[in-house]
Structure 1
Amino acid sequence: MDIRTLARHLDLSIGTVSRALNGKKDVNPVTRERVIAAAAEHGYVPNQSGRALRRGRTGIVGFMLTLRHDSAAHGDPFFMALFEGIQAGLVEKGIDLVILLGRDGEDQLDSLRRSVSRGIADGWLLSATQRHDARIDFLLDRGIPFATLGRSASGGTQPWIDLDFEGLVDQAIRRFLDAGHRRIGLVAPPATVNNSYVVIDAYRDRLEAAGVPFERRLIHQGAADARDGEAAARALMGLTDPPTALLAMGETAPTGLYKGLLGLGFVPGRDVSVIGSRANPFTDALSPRPTCFALSLRDLGVALAKALLPLLDEDKPDDIVPVQQLWPMQLVAGDSETTR
């Protein structure tokens, strides 16, 4: 059934039916409910191509996935679970999620600029936010709706949700300190992403608050994937005075860290204390099971979608307060910690 047939069936004009289906306020509420009920009963689905041309809207939100930094490139499940939540949050408004992969080696801004010029989506979700992120400035300058997974020094008025990395680091370092460790190594994310700065600053602050000197050489900064975790084990445990405890950021970094430690003759949970960032299927498979932090990625995805939705509303008020939220993570104790 197309909109003309639906309008004839209801003895209403096509314009009235269209405005009712689009939630316009000038339609009588009783008429709107009648139209919606009839559309559902007869299986009416709007012609999205024509609708997009008329309204200048696509009914799509684009998620820019950058393979260089985002952990999806390393085979972990973070983004698939997150995408499920985002789509669940968008579906109530009839909006679909489209994932766009940046070309290998291409500048992130160029990739975004190309997609925006093609009119692919009504709004955007960005991840792997950088300390100073030109993508944020680009979208703000053009008034394009967007939200970010992660903070940045750029912008200021955009909605964002970020994991509470400060809380994670604080809890992990406190546990190490309480267990008697004073030489604590950190496997940090790459310097190109903002959360690397957040994590290192929190690590430094917690140590200095406890009167433990901060040593830059106890930080290994890299891709924070499995391969880099193995490299971190070699670099940090090869020091003249190696750390007795290690905090491994990154989804798959603990896997490589364990491999590297065992290859050097160090047994996690016996010779060195280890805490990972997020509990996931990779960390669950390690023995001894590492202490990690848990969160619902689906709930995070839903919240990220809801942070963006108000900006996509054609009748949105001018005084929208953007969502800017640190997402809590819950520590799950494992068997990878030792006392000194």
Structure 2
Amino acid sequence: MKGIRRLAQHLDISIGTVSRALNGKPDVNEETRRRVLQAAAELGYVPNQSGRSLRQGTTNIIGFMMQTGTEITGQGDIFFMSVFDGVQAVFARHKLDLVALLCSSEEDPSDYLRRVVARGFADGLILSATQRDDPRIEFLAERNIPFVTLGRSLTDAGQPWLDLDFEGMAQASIDRLVARGHRRIAITRPHDDINLGYIFVDRCRRALAAHGLALDEDLIFRSTPNEAGGYQIARDLLALDEPPTAIVLINETIAIGFYQALSEAGVKPGRDIAVIGRYSPHAHFLSPPLTCFRLSLRDLGIALAETLLSAMPAFKDHYPQAPANRVWQMELVEGESDPFRAPRR
């Protein structure tokens, strides 16, 4: 039994009273409210969400904007599916639904977002792949649309954001490698203008300078976030007249391709070159085991959802302590890919 009319007939009270009881209106006495809620549960009443949304001016949908060319590649789906699990765990408490908004790599992200907003598709948004300068942020802020970003940007409209601790990863990796005798250290960064690349490179540069070392521009490798990108980095690295003795891989998806290219060249991680990367489920199968940085993606998703809801008037009272503008720390997992002493060249 799904219709509110039949529920009212069953209880022998008016449709209006049933509706007000279901929606928590204060002009319904507690005994009537209890009877309505009990009957609704027993009879399997399901509210008409489309009608309710029209009346309330809401959709009960939250959009998660992603760019297919940069994020859903290789193992990127593993990253985001784990984040989605945490996000939806929170939204389910409030009968909200998460929808992935996939922007093609051939379309401008701002144009795509304007189209989504014009359709009134979602009550709030989560933006990922934040650019160094990101016009999407100002666009949403000007329209008072609740949103949170996964990643920082120089464009700051006062919106809440969460970001991975790329500075901490850079600092810990450089300090670890220098302590183990490495002086010629390579790093990677995304191939596009995503802001995390600037953050990571800048901290690596400063960490090296603190040890009296300089970051060689020839040792900054750009790549797509997939196995092919890692494979090409290794080929380019090995082609140098003076290859580095260590490298830090910023993306979790490139280690497999990187290892493969090294293997084909007879170069062994942990013996001939030190490698530090980001954790992925596939890292268990690399030999030697990768020294990497790991985080709970599900917990990150939970924090993203709670942060967004804390910025939405209908839900903010539920999450007064939600994290905002937080750098999410990553844990170093010891492997065997970064030897204790740098190989002599």
Q: Normalising by the residue count of structure 2, what TM-score does the alignment of the two structures yield?
A: 0.90
- In the TM superposition, what are the counterparts of 1:298-309 in structure 2 within 5 Å? 298-309=298-309
Q: Alpha carbons of 1:65 and 1:315: their partners in 2 closer, same or farther (altered >3 Å)?
A: closer
Task: Give the equivalent residue in structure 2 for 1:287.
Answer: 287
Residue 270 of structure 1 and its aligned partner are, at CA, apart by: 0.4
Residue aligned with 1:68, SS: coil
Match of 1:144 in 2: 145
Q: Which letter does structure 1 place at the counterpart of 2:288?
A: P
Cα deviation code 1:184-214 (max 9, x no counterpart): 1001122410100111011111111111122
SS in structure 1 at match of 2:148: strand
Residues 75 and 322 of structure 1, relative CA distance in 2, 3 Å threshold: closer
Equivalenced residue count is 336
Q: 1:132 offset after TM fit, Å?
A: 0.9
CA 1:48/1:214 → structure 2, altered by over 3 Å: closer, same or farther? same
**Contact 1:161 1:304 (C-alpha < 8 Å) held by counterparts:** yes
Contact preservation (8 Å) 2:291, 2:333: yes
Q: Does 1:244 align with 2:245?
A: yes
Query: What is the rounded CA distance, in whole Å, between the counterparts of 2:206 and 2:7 in structure 1?
Result: 64
Residue 23 to residue 200, structure 1, CA distance change in 2 (3 Å): farther
Return the offset for 1:174. 1.3
**Could you tell me which residue of structure 2 aligns to residue 262 of structure 1?**
263
Structure 2: which 5+ residue stretches go unaligned?
none
Shift of 1:241: 2.0
Confirm whether residue 67 of structure 1 aligns to residue 68 of structure 2.
yes
Structure 2 letter corresponding to 1:47 = N
The separation in 2 between residues aligned to 1:20 and 1:323, in whole angstroms, is 35
Matched-pair contact (CA < 8 Å) for 1:125–1:146: yes
Deviations 1:107-162 (A, max 9, x none): 11111111121222111111111111111111111111111111111133211111
Deviation at 1:28, TM superposition (A): 5.7
Alpha-carbon distance between aligned partners in 2 of 1:169 and 1:191, rounded to the nearest angstrom: 19
CA deviation map 1:203-247 (0-9, x unaligned): 111111111122221110222321111111122232222210110
Q: Is residue 127 from structure 1 mapped to residue 128 from structure 2 by the alignment? A: yes
Where 1:326 maps in the other structure, the secondary structure is: strand
The question of whether the paired residues in 2 share the 8 Å contact of 1:62 and 1:121 is answered with yes
After TM superposition, the structure 1 stretch with the greater mean CA deviation from structure 2, 53-62 or 223-232, is: 223-232
Structure 1 counterpart of 2:53: 52
Q: Aligned equivalents of 1:167 and 1:29: distance in 2?
A: 53
Normalised by the length of structure 1, the TM-score is: 0.91
Q: In structure 2, give the amino acid aligned to 1:39.
A: A
After TM superposition, list the pairs within 5 Å mapping 1:86-125 onto structure 2.
86-125=87-126
- 3-state SS in 2 of match to 1:200: helix
CA contact (8 A) 1:307 1:322 kept: yes
Superposition CA RMSD, Å: 2.2
Which letter does structure 1 place at the counterpart of 2:155? S
Does 173-182 or 98-107 show the bigger shift? 98-107
Where 1:120 maps in the other structure, the secondary structure is coil
Quick one: which amino acid aligns to residue 299 of structure 1? D
Q: How much identity, in percent, do the aligned residues show?
A: 49
TM-superposed CA distance for 1:253, in Å, is 1.0
Cα distance, 1:143–1:303 mapped onto 2, change above 3 Å: same
**Secondary structure at the counterpart of residue 51 of structure 1:** helix
